Chain A
């Protein structure tokens, strides 16, 4: 059984006041997320990430398709007791203290009243809010609110945790802490599904990722598998400060540092660049392949999506 199974989930909104016209927010989406996996859902702003998460949480109703979490339907309360959700830029009841907020959410999730206090204290400790537990949330910084958000998502020991942009608004320290928290969740055997547009986080954390753009799934798989198909780049270093015209026109980045010049160009321009260096009698020092990153893959998919949109 998959932890999350999405079968053709799609969403079309009606926009306009008098003459309503359909706007597709999500094309039929098919995804299967394994138990215990950290799955990254990547895409630029407005790609359809939050719409997908909202449909999975039962906040927005799909126009078509279906999905199951832990083998249960999306409106099944038994399933909802076993999942945790952190919305994007969370906002909580600011008249409550962190402790009161978590007690309230624990009660709604059906946490045993005898265990509630110890669960709340443990999770506050885990997210580093123990000292601020009796402070009203209206006095919290953005980073502290994000931590409170993560605390409410994991308080009831869910099997599957959904995090919508969990790193947004956090400073580098905070991001590192959230990363290690997500790793801890995986060690505890939980499935983590998180959306982000911060690719380095996804690259560092995820077992698999899916890239979505303009409401369409562009690719899904392990980061290494996805990036292996991307045409790489090469770094060429030569002596001297002159830059041959063929390298200039390739559109790569060039940096002159003292007596050497460094250029990063695409693999396909490599031979032409080396020939140009020979012709200009510039001494070649090194040619090093640059490994394709998730960012390269991501950007390639976005370009592809944009080209397809133009041809349509």
Chain B
């Protein structure tokens, strides 16, 4: 990473910390401790399943909300407040700015996920008193959640580079919801014929496949996640993220900052 991207990324991280984004961890901690105590009392034999399901879903939702609501302002807020003028009048290329913003928010989300993951494991330990070998699957699920964050951050950044924050939020959230049902969309596309099939298949493959990145239920039921899926999801998330970031850079390179 070149030094300018690094400095923009660290400044973005600092902004998130000072804007008290990490305060969501308090809400998460309260949720997990409440859930652990409650689950211990009302569910017999399935405490682990409930805590893992609830914990990982919360990690995912908290992160997605942060990725969308901070991501949509990463570029548009800088244009609106004109803070961008004093950055781009320096030897900083526009694509470097985009990359720095992406890494900064991704770093914030990874740190956030790290602390939330500790919360999940502590709650799990509270309800089951020990860890099992199958619990390593939770780490894989968390890794996939982080991959989802990378994709949604890149998408929020793309929308932020040409649209208003409100529209960007709508677009990013809609894509997240559609992406969650990407496998169903692909199945639907395979049932159609002719031009419709081409169009439906194209659309199904264009939206991010978040369903392949969701193994929460599988992990909660102690099923193993194949190495092949880990490799596939890693490659998919990286290629998708790089493609979206490249599109963002292309759009932003041509934009007049009026």
Q: Is the CB of A80 within 8 A of B91?
A: yes
B88 at the interface (CB under 8 A from A): yes
A96 to chain B, nearest CB (A): 8
| Stretch in contact with the other chain, from A102-110, A168-176, A289-297 | A102-110
Q: Is the CB of A105 within 8 A of B82?
A: no
Which among B15, B81, B88 is the interface contact of A91 at CB below 8 angstroms?
A: B81
Q: Is the CB of B4 within 8 A of A87?
A: no
Which among A90, A96, A108 is the interface contact of B90 at CB below 8 angstroms?
A: A108
Closest to B82 in A: A91
A81 at the interface (CB under 8 A from B): yes
B214 at the interface (CB under 8 A from A): no
Q: Is the CB of B15 within 8 A of A93?
A: yes
CB-defined contacts of A83 to chain B, threshold 8 Å: 89
Given contacts A91-B81, A95-B15, contact A57 B3 (CB under 8 A): no
Interface residues of B in 49-97 (CB under 8 A from A): 81-93
A61 at the interface (CB under 8 A from B): yes
Closest to B92 in A: A108
CB-defined contacts of A92 to chain B, threshold 8 Å: 83, 86
Distance A13 CA – B258 CA, assembled complex (angstroms):
10
CB-defined contacts of B87 to chain A, threshold 8 Å: 108
The 8 A CB mask of B208-252 against A (1 = contact, 0 = none) is: 000000000000000000000000000000000000000000000
The 8 A CB mask of B121-136 against A (1 = contact, 0 = none) is: 0000000000000000
A181 at the interface (CB under 8 A from B): no
CB-defined contacts of A59 to chain B, threshold 8 Å: 84-85, 88-89, 256-257
Interface residues of A in 98-117 (CB under 8 A from B): 104-105, 107-110
A21 at the interface (CB under 8 A from B): no
Closest to B11 in A: A104
Q: Is the CB of A90 within 8 A of B82?
A: yes
The 8 A CB mask of A39-79 against B (1 = contact, 0 = none) is: 00000000000000010011111000000000000000110
CB-defined contacts of B254 to chain A, threshold 8 Å: 61
The 8 A CB mask of A167-205 against B (1 = contact, 0 = none) is: 000000000000000000000000000000000000000
Q: Is the CB of A58 within 8 A of B91?
A: no
Given contacts A77-B93, A80-B90, A80-B91, contact A104 B7 (CB under 8 A): yes
Q: Is the CB of B256 within 8 A of A60?
A: yes
Given contacts A77-B93, A108-B91, contact A85 B258 (CB under 8 A): no
A301 at the interface (CB under 8 A from B): no
Closest to B81 in A: A91
Closest to B94 in A: A58
- How many residue pairs, one in A and one in B, have C-beta atoms under 8 Å apart? 75
Closest to B8 in A: A108
Distance A152 CA – B90 CA, assembled complex (angstroms):
11
Distance A13 CA – B81 CA, assembled complex (angstroms):
21
CB-defined contacts of B89 to chain A, threshold 8 Å: 57-59, 80, 83, 85, 162
CB-defined contacts of A57 to chain B, threshold 8 Å: 85, 88-89
Query: What is the size, in residues, of chain A's interface with B at 8 Å between Cβ atoms?
Result: 30
Closest to A156 in B: B90
Q: Is the CB of A152 within 8 A of B86?
A: yes
CB-defined contacts of B82 to chain A, threshold 8 Å: 87, 89-91
Distance A152 CA – B87 CA, assembled complex (angstroms):
10
Q: Is the CB of A90 within 8 A of B15?
A: no
CB-defined contacts of B11 to chain A, threshold 8 Å: 93, 96, 104
B18 at the interface (CB under 8 A from A): yes
Which among B15, B18, B86, B92 is the interface contact of A85 at CB below 8 angstroms?
A: B86
CB-defined contacts of A89 to chain B, threshold 8 Å: 82
The 8 A CB mask of B1-13 against A (1 = contact, 0 = none) is: 0011001100100
Closest to B79 in A: A59
Which among A58, A90, A104, A109 is the interface contact of B88 at CB below 8 angstroms?
A: A58
Closest to B16 in A: A95
A177 to chain B, nearest CB (A): 21
Q: Is the CB of B85 within 8 A of A107?
A: no
Q: Is the CB of B19 within 8 A of A87?
A: no
CB-defined contacts of A152 to chain B, threshold 8 Å: 86
Given contacts A61-B256, A91-B81, A104-B7, contact A81 B90 (CB under 8 A): yes
A-B contact pairs, 28 of them (CB 8 A): A57-B89, A59-B88, A59-B256, A61-B254, A77-B92, A77-B93, A78-B91, A80-B89, A80-B90, A81-B90, A85-B89, A87-B82, A87-B86, A92-B83, A93-B15, A95-B14, A95-B18, A95-B19, A96-B11, A104-B7, A104-B11, A107-B3, A107-B4, A107-B7, A108-B7, A108-B87, A108-B90, A152-B86
Apart from A90-B85, A91-B82, A92-B86: 7 A-B pairs, beta carbons within 8 A: A59-B89, A60-B256, A77-B92, A80-B90, A93-B11, A93-B83, A95-B14
